[in-house]
Each structure stands twice: as structure tokens, then as C-alpha cells.
Amino acid sequence: MLLFVGLGNPGEQYAGTRHNIGFMAVDAIAKQHRFAPWRRKFQGVATEGNLVGDKVLLLLPGTYMNESGRAVSEAMQFYKIALGDIVVFHDELDLPAAKLRMKLGGGNAGHNGLRSISAHVGNDYRRVRLGIGHPGDKRMGASYVLQNFAKDEWPWVEALCDTVADNAALLVEGKDSTFQNKVHLAMAAKGFGSGTADDS
């Protein structure tokens, strides 16, 4: 079994914020692949389904971002999921809006959700970094991520989440670089970005 974790904050007031794009991407996977209805579980909401013949657990922690690791640890221990079979979807300030990068382990770049997960289960899990752009001033980062996406940003947000869902089977198969490239090509075809995986 694989565990796909979307990072975000629970509650309507946070639903449209940049920090919640991880929630949005994983919810898009659930909808597109017709997973079972979300149920309260593992200090959040979870659902199970199948992708290319493998069982996948989707989890949206309800602990608030800074305590995401508690929910991830509980789900991981319950199903005895290996660290390398955890894929975390999160917002990334250091990537331009609408860009995506894959990463295994490494630093947390000040992201409190990643920091919490690493503290609870270790660092060598896979990350889907969803670019939200940068406010231009490092001191504004904390307030920027809690702002709602602007109306003119929603087309790329929805396109990125749908494209992630379209190609989620590649993550199950461990083809992370192929997944990254396919998302970039598809986003370029939709009019977002140049279609190369290494531009920034």
C-alpha cells in the first residue's frame, strides 16, 4: 500500500489558500479515480482506492499544518507502510506558480508541515512540490501562504491539480521523473509554462 498525503489546514477559512494546494491535489486524485467517500480517520480524513492495481490510501491531516506528522505517523504505523511509499503533496514557495518538482528527502525549506512529518517518521519520503510563487520578500512568506489564491490564479491551480490526478498512476509505479515531465508537458499544452521540466 502507498500513502498519498495532502498538506493543508482544515476548515472553510483555509480552503482556498495557497498553503492548501496539497489538499486540493489529493482531493482531485480522489475524485478523478473514484475513491471511496472521505471518512474521519488518522486525525484527519482518509479514503482508500486502487491505482494501477495497487492499494492507495489518501490522507488529509486535520491536525493543522504544524502537526501533520502526527496523522502521517498514525496511518503509516496502522498499515505498516514503508517510508519510501509515502508521497507528500505540498505548496512550494521556491517554485514559480504552476510548476511542479519531485524530490526525495532533503531539507524542508522552512515548511512546517514537512518538518513535522520528518520529525515523526523520518525524512526519506517522496515529495510533490507544487509551486505557488514567492511574494518577493522572505519576511512575507508566512502571511503569503495563508492568502487565498486570486481569481485569475484559479485556472492554473485547477489545471495543475487535475494534471497531477491524471498522472497519479506514475507515482504508484515509482516513475517520479516521468510523472514530473508528463505534468510539465500537459501544463504547457494547457497554456501554463514552457513544457520543460528544468525551467524555473
For residue 6, give the CATH number of its domain.
Answer: 3.40.50.1470
Among candidates 59, 27, 56, 28, which has minimal Cα distance to 44?
59
Residue 9 maps to a domain: yes
- Tens-digit pLDDT profile for residues 11-49: 999 999 999 999 999 999 999 999 999 999 999 999 999
Residue 196 maps to a domain: no
> Given pLDDT bands bounded at 50, 70 and 90, which one contains residue 81?
very high
Residue 143 maps to a domain: yes
Residue 163 maps to a domain: yes
| Percentage of residues of the chain with pLDDT beyond 70 | 96
The position carrying cell 506528522 is: 69
Residue 53 maps to a domain: yes
pLDDT for the residue numbered 88: 98
Residue 198 maps to a domain: no
* Tally of domains in the chain: 1
The answer to whether residue 19 is catalytic is yes
Residue 173: pLDDT above 60?
A: yes
Among candidates 150, 25, 175, 174, which has minimal Cα distance to 100?
25
Report the C-alpha gap between 71 and 108 in whole angstroms: 18
- Tens-digit pLDDT profile for residues 108-138: 878 999 999 999 999 999 999 999 999 888 8
Of residues 62 and 110, more confidently modeled: 62
For residue 83, which amino acid is it?
L
For residue 149, which amino acid is it?
F
The position carrying cell 521556491 is: 94
Residue 36 maps to a domain: yes
Q: Which member of 19, 90, 111, 184 is catalytic?
A: 19
Of residues 181 and 198, more confidently modeled: 181
Which residue range(s) make up the domain with 173? 2-189
Report the C-alpha gap between 166 and 113 in whole angstroms: 25
> Given pLDDT bands bounded at 50, 70 and 90, which one contains residue 196?
very low
pLDDT for the residue numbered 195: 43
Residue 113 maps to a domain: yes
CA 134 to chain CA centroid, Å, is 18
Q: What is the 3-state secondary structure (H, E, C) of the chain?
A: CEEEEECCCCCHHHCCEHHHHHHHHHHHHHHHCCCCCCEEECCEEEEEEEECCEEEEEEEECCCHHHHHHHHHHHHHHHCCCHHHEEEEEEECCCCCCCEEEEECCCCCCCHHHHHHHHHHCCCCEEEEEECCCCCCHHHHHHHHCCECCHHHHHHHHHHHHHHHHCHHHHHCCCHHHHHHHHHHHHHHCCCCCCCCCCC
